Structure formats: C-alpha cells, structure tokens
Chain A
Amino acid sequence: MMESCNCIEPQWPADELLMKYQYISDFFIALAYFSIPLELIYFVKKSAVFPYRWVLVQFGAFIVLCGATHLINLWTFSMHSRTVEVVMTSAKVLTAAVSCVTALMLVHIIPDLLSVKTRELFLKNKAAELDREMGLIRTQEETGRHVRMLTHEIRSTLDRHTILKTTLVELGRTLALEECALWMPTRTGLELQLSYTLHQQNPVGYTVPIHLPVINQVFSSNRAVKISPNSPVARIRPLAGKYMPGEVVAVRVPLLHLSNFQINDWPELSTKRYALMVLMLPSDSARQWHVHELELVEVVADQVAVALSHAAILEESMRARDLLMEQNVALDLARREAETAIRARNDFLAVMNHEMRTPMHAIIALSSLLQETELTPEQRLMVETIMKSSNLLATLINDVLDLSRLEDGSLQLDDETFNLHALFREVLNLIKPVASVKKLHLTLNLAPDLPEVAVGDEKRLMQIILNIVGNAVKFSKGGTISITSFVAKAEYLRDAKTPEFFPVPSDTHFYLRVQVKDSGSGISPQDLPKLFTKFAQNQARLAARSSSGSGLGLAICKRFVNLMDGYIWIESEGLGKGCTATFIVKLGIPEQLKESKFLVLPKVPGNHVHANLAGLKVLVMDDNSVSRAVTKGLLLHLGCDVTTVSSSSECLHAVSEEQKVVFMDICLPGMDGYEVAVQIRERFAKRHERPLIVALTGHVDKMTKENCMRVGMDGVILKPVSLDKMRTVLSDLLKHRVSFEAI
C-alpha cells in the first residue's frame, strides 16, 4: 500500500549533472544575496550622510528574501516535504511583495538621488566662484597695502626732491617697472621738462612741447591712460633690444597751490598746472597693465600731488621766515643807527648849548655894559643894534634847544604855585612899550572866577602867552589887541573846533582858557594848518613882518600847551581880517592848607597836653545819640567843658565866641555839615574869634578831605575816635590850628 505522501514531485525528471550545477549556482546566489546587504549595511553605517537608510533597509530585506528563496530552492531539487514547499512559497510571496514595494519606492527616490548630484555640482561651481573672488580681493588688498606703503614713504618727507624720487623708486619696485619718469612743466608753462627718472641719474634737460595731443589726452582725464610707447614722452632711452617695448601708462599729477584750495571748489577744476608721470612695463615681458595696477597709479599720483603741495607750502613758509629774519636784522640795525644818531645829537646839543650860550652871554653882557658908557649917537645906535641882534640870537638858540628837548620828551614842566593875575599883568607890562610904539591898544580881561593862585610852570606859561601876544603885535599895524582869560567850564570844553580834546576838570585842576584877538593882517585859510609846523613861514606874514623870527615860536607853544594837557588853535577869517589865537591849558588848584600855614599862634605854655585841654569849651554836633554820648564822654574824660547839640540849627544857636572847638558829624545825609561850617566862618569874621571846626566822619577819602578843606574846616577825624587820637587832635589843633590826618 502506497501511503499518500505529501510530497511534491518535480515536473521534470531529475537530471543529475544539470541539477548539480543548478544546486551550486543557487548556493552561490544565496551566498551573494546574503553578503550584499551585509556589505551595504556596513558601508552605510560607515558613512553618516546617506539620507535614505530605510530604502536600504527595504533593499536589504528584498535581497535577503531573494537569497532565502534561492536557498530554499536547494531543497526542492530532490524530494521534499510539503513544509518545505510551504516555506518556499511563503518566501517567494514575501520576496515578491517586498520587491514590488521597493520597485515602487525607487520610482520616487531615484529622481531625488539624481538631484543630489546636481546640487553638488552647483555647490562646486559656487566654491570656484568664491575662490576667484577671494583671489581678487587679495590682489586688491595687496594693492592697497602697496599704496599705503607708498603713501607713507612719500608723505614721510617734506622735501620735494625726496618725495618725487621716492615715488618713482617705490612705484618702480611695486609694479616692477622698467622705467618711470616725471615730466614737470617749465616756468613758461609751454613745455614739459624731464625732471626725474628712475634709472638715469642725471636726466638731460629733455623737453617736449606741452600741447601734444597725447599729453592733452592724459591731462584731460584723471585716470591713468595707456599711451603708445612711441610717443615722445615715452621715448626716454633709445630702444634697446629687439623686443617689443612694454606697455606704457601715463597719468597727470596736479600741482596744487595754496590758492587752489577753495571751499566749494575741487582742486581738479581750478588748477591748471600738471606734471606728467610716465610708467613703462619691462619690455621683455608679456605683462599687461591690470586694472588694479592702474588704480594704484592713480591713487599714487594724487598722493604725490598732496605731498608736493605740502612741500611747497613748507618751502614758502621757510622763505617767508627767512625774509622776516632778514628784515628783523635790518630793522635792528636801523634802530641802533637811529639811537646812535639821537645820542650823537644830544651830545652835540649839550655841548653846543654850553658852547653857544657862553659867547652869547659874553656878547650880551658886554654890549649892555657898553651901553652904560659914554657913547656918541652913532656908536649908541650900533651898540643897540648889536644888543638887539644878540638878544634875538640868544632867543633863537634857546628856542632851538628847547624844541629839540621838547621833541625828545625830555622836557619836564615845573610844578609850582604862582600868582596867575600877576603873570598876566607882567605880560601886559612887557608888551605895552612895543604896542604903544605901533599904536596898538591893549586890553586885558580877567574873569572874576579866575583863581588868583595856580599851580603849574609859570615860566613856560608866560612864554606861551608872550609868544602869542607877541605874534599878535608883530603882525598888526594898528587897532586893538584884546586878551581875555577865564576858567573853561565843561560846556566850553566840548568845542566843536576841538573834537579830539576831551578835558575833564576835577577838584584838583582847572582849565585856563586864554584868547588873544588882533585886527592885523590875518591868515589865509590854506595857511592855517601849517602855522604850528616848525620852520614853516607864512608868506603874507613874511611880507608884513619887520623882524624875522625863526618860525619856531608857535611850534614851541604848541608843544608846551600839549605838555600841559591842553589845546591851542588859531582862527582867522582871511587875509587882512585879523586873527584869534586861543589856547586851553590845565593848571592845578593849590591846596588851602598852604594858607593856614602862615598863621602862628603865641606859644602855649607847658608841654603837658592835659593842662591845655582842661576847661576847654567844646561844642559837639551829632544827631546820633550814641556817638554823641561817646564823643561827649571822651571829651569829658580829657577834661573839656562839653556842650552837645543834635542838629545844625541848634548848633548855630549854641555856637559862640566861648567855644574854642566845634566837632561836627558830617556824614549824615540830609544834614549839611559843610553848610554849617560855612555859616560859622561867615559869622566869625575875625580868625582868632572863630572856633576851630573839626569834622567827624565815618568814612574818609580824598574827596571828603578836600571838601572839608574847601569850606574852611580846620580838621577831619575818622570815627570811631580813640582817646589817644582825640587827645592828639586837640593838642594839634591848639598848637597849629590845623589837624588833617594823613588819609
């Protein structure tokens, strides 16, 4: 009985050899199929970037299943059980499934994979481009570095030649040039002259006219321009060798001047002068001018221009400084010469002063003595002429000497008290004889407020008045000469005729104004300004005068008047209409102190001050109760008999002959202590009856002191008063009748 086996019989009969080959092949296929995924996995694990791992997994699965299929096939060559068949079938089914899925997947994946490739290509291109750009930047940076270095070299010197030489050398080095040359415009501006070259030590004065087309082309643009090697500016050396000459580039170098730097103007527009820089590449190389090299050349040209202008400025300033030094030296020399001259003149004058005056004195003295002797009328006439001439000569000498001293500024005015009225009277006396001879009528008008006494230089003031009056007499033939004199008030002083003269009267000075009017020959308007000039003579007056003067008189007057802080001027309505001479001078007001100096009281017996003060009747006027009490206490302590009042009316009531001293407080506003003092003075006309008036004040200045003196007070004391001070003041008062503290 045949058991029904579940075996499956192969379709074909088994052929031993063929089957063996199939068997082996299947085995190897399986082996391959198993090892491939392993290899794949191994390499994928190694490379981290592969993005499609799961695809590989699928692929791996597919391969493994294929391998499994082939492996299982090995069992199907002989009799095999149903299980094997089932396993085989399932394996095949699985394999089919996986392979289909994989095939479907690959449809999507393969395009992606391809695009990866394109992206890679793209990136590679980009990288190549960046590389190129890097190369470019690097070259530019190199260029920049070269330029900076060049600039630094050029600008590190202020010497023109060094700048230009350095430029050429550095450019030649940086760009590896064969020749580098600089053509500068000549003075005329019509030619360019070869000034500097790189390789030739002393370039011959080779010139080309400036208006060549190639030069114009270069000058008209601020870029570096390629020119032909055959142009005149590029043919510096004879062509050596058979090689092609290298490319030549020329660029303009603006020659900037200081005046070219306008604020709103760029130098390129305003400058007209250029130099030409020519650069030649080596002739045996195939080099060409690159853009960055041209740029470098342009930049350098600009820098050179700036450096040159700096050098030019420096040269100019050094020239100016040298000039100034020369001038200084010359001025110094001139000054020293002038000083020597002045010294020489002063020495001369000093000598001549003495030398000239001595014989003059002799002449004058002896001739006056001669006049005293017995003389015949003719002899007398002769002697009188001698006297007159020598007097004139003496005056002339004095004038000249005075004037030179005045001009030097070495003349000092005297400052003494003198009687003003007496001065005028003396002038009148001196002039009267001459005036009466010429039948001139003299009048003198002194203002009532003219002080009797003044402080100043009496002699010179007299000289001024005499000179002016003398001139008036000299140039009049008849009529009246009037002399008026008064104190110039402030309104008067702002005369329209004296615009530059602004005198300010003060408490110590007053301005004396003297006017001399004559009806003589007058002066024409054009001569008026020359009057005070030395040695200038007035033509009309020349004709009119009978005796010649030196022409110095008015000049000297003017100098003296100026020294006295004054002003002098002459007015005339024209020829024949007479003239008026006016001058204003500053004189001092004498201190009243001097008056009281002259009074001497009989000597008071006993030296002990206390005794003098005992019982002394004193009046104190002060409206401040406290200070009144204090002053009273002080005086009581000193033994005085004190009466106190607190107002000016009370004071005037209480004051009597018995009071010897009146102390009054003057610094209170509203109460005029000065007024009281004046009234007291008026009341007691006789000096010895009058009580001494002393002012008490809290603040002292020169003004207060002078005011007190002016109203006739005898003393000023600063409050608060100490015992000792009061004692001293009182004893001073009684001794000298005056006590003004040194303030």
Chain B
Amino acid sequence: MEVALMQRRLEDYTKSLFMEGLLDAQFLQLQQLQDDSNPEFVREVVSLFFEDSQKLLNDLTSALDQQIVDFRKVDSYVHQLKGSSSSIGAQRVKNTCIVFRTFCEEQNAEGCVRCLQQVKQEYYLVKTRLETLYRLEQQVVAAGGSIPAVEFNSF
C-alpha cells in the first residue's frame, strides 16, 4: 500500500510541476523517449541541462559584471540557455530567456542584470523541483513500484 501512496504522491508532484508552468509538454516527450534500451534517458538529459546551465549562468554573471558589457556575447549565452531549456521543457526558464534576449538587443544592462536574477531564480527552482521529482521516483522504484506515465490531458 505504501507503494500506491508513493506513486500517488509522485503523480501529484509531477502534475504540480506542469500546473505551475515549470515544465511543458516537451518534458513529457522526453519521458516518452525513455524505454528499456535507454532507461536513464531523462536523468541524463536533465543532468546535462544542469551542467550546461550552471556554466552558462556563471558565464553570464561574469559577462554582465564587466565594465563594458559585450551584449553580443551575453546574447549568445542566453540563446544557448534558451535552446537547452526549451529542449528539456523548462518553460519558465525559456520564457525568461526570451525576455532576456530583448534586453540584450536593446543593450539595456540594467534590464539584463534583472533578467539574469530572474533566470537564476527560475533555474534553481526548476532544478530543486526536478531533483525532488527524481528522489520520489527513486523511492517508488526502490519500493518495487513502477513510475506511472503522466498523460498530458489528465489535467
């Protein structure tokens, strides 16, 4: 019975991530790609995303710290981040990146700094939540259950 409860908890948690707009349908696609031949696909992609984004955020921070900001470089970093986040389905991060890019085009340093803060916030939020998700999944698997597939139209 515990398994069922844990599964239920996992399902609710996953749903909440979608409801809050942290993740979008792309994440579901990734989950669909996970099969027996590729059991840790999602985990791998997510870890790649974390690595990549952490590096990009550090680069962005140092780039915006400069006296004279090289907006082209900043824009290219943000572009990368936008690409990664949209590939993984991190919707809010992606949306913030879109706004970030407009500030880069306007060469508005203040706006960029603000956006960077916001991106960091969104990123850390989604990171924490994904890590919790992973932990819950591990719990379910350890208890002998299987991870329920989430249908997009179930909410």
Q: Which residues of A contact B (CB under 8 A)?
A: 623-627, 629-631, 633-634, 636-637, 665, 667-670, 698, 719-720, 722-723
Contact = CB atoms under 8 A, between A and B. Distances in A.
B32 interface: yes
Contact of B48 (A629, A636, A722): A629
B4 interface: no
Contacts of B76: 668-670
Contact of A723 (B33, B83, B85): B33
Contacts, number: 75
A411 B110 CA distance: 58
Contacts of A669: 72, 75-76, 79
B38 A720 contact: no
Interface string B23-37: 001100110110101
B88 A630 contact: yes
A610 to B, nearest CB: 14
A633 B80 CA distance: 19
Interface of B: 25-26, 29-30, 32-33, 35, 37-38, 41, 44-45, 48-49, 51-52, 72, 75-76, 79-80, 82-89
Given A624-B87, A637-B38, A720-B87, A630 B45 contact: yes
Contacts of B48: 625-626, 629
A668 B82 CA distance: 11
Contact of A624 (B35, B51, B84): B84
Given A669-B75, A669-B76, A627 B83 contact: yes
A698 B29 contact: no
B30 A633 contact: yes
Contact of A626 (B25, B37, B38, B84): B84
A626 B87 contact: yes
Given A669-B76, A720-B29, A723-B29, A629 B86 contact: no
8 contacts: A626-B87, A627-B87, A629-B44, A633-B30, A633-B33, A633-B45, A634-B33, A719-B83
Given A625-B48, A636-B38, A722-B29, A630 B87 contact: yes
Contacts of B41: 633
Contacts of A629: 44-45, 48, 87
Contacts of B45: 626, 629-630, 633
A669 B41 CA distance: 28
Contact of B89 (A624, A636, A698, A720): A720
Contacts of B89: 720
Q: Which of A629, A665, A669 has the most chain B CB atoms closer than 10 A to its own CB?
A: A629
Contacts of B72: 669
Contacts of A626: 45, 48-49, 52, 83-85, 87-88
Contacts of A719: 83, 86-87
Contacts of A720: 26, 29, 86-87, 89
A52 B86 CA distance: 114
Contact of B33 (A637, A667, A670): A637
Given A629-B48, A636-B38, A668-B79, A723 B32 contact: yes
A54 B71 CA distance: 110
A632 to B, nearest CB: 10
Contacts of A636: 33, 37-38
A392 B96 CA distance: 72
Nearest to A635: B33
Contacts of A722: 25-26, 29
Nearest to B28: A722
Contacts of A630: 30, 45, 87-88
Contacts of B85: 626
A722 B51 CA distance: 24
Given A626-B84, A630-B87, A669-B76, 14 more contacts: A623-B80, A624-B80, A624-B84, A626-B52, A629-B44, A629-B87, A633-B30, A633-B45, A636-B33, A636-B38, A637-B38, A719-B86, A720-B29, A723-B29
A688 B103 CA distance: 46
Contacts of A698: 82-83, 86
A402 B84 CA distance: 61
A160 B10 CA distance: 93
A183 B78 CA distance: 91
Contacts of B49: 626
Contacts of A623: 80
A631 B45 CA distance: 11
A97 B72 CA distance: 127
A633 B86 contact: no
Contacts of A723: 29, 32-33
A667 B76 CA distance: 11
Contacts of B33: 633-634, 636-637, 723
A668 to B, nearest CB: 7
A629 B87 CA distance: 9
A625 B44 CA distance: 11
Contacts of B87: 624, 626-627, 629-631, 719-720
A626 B89 CA distance: 11
Contacts of A627: 83-84, 86-87
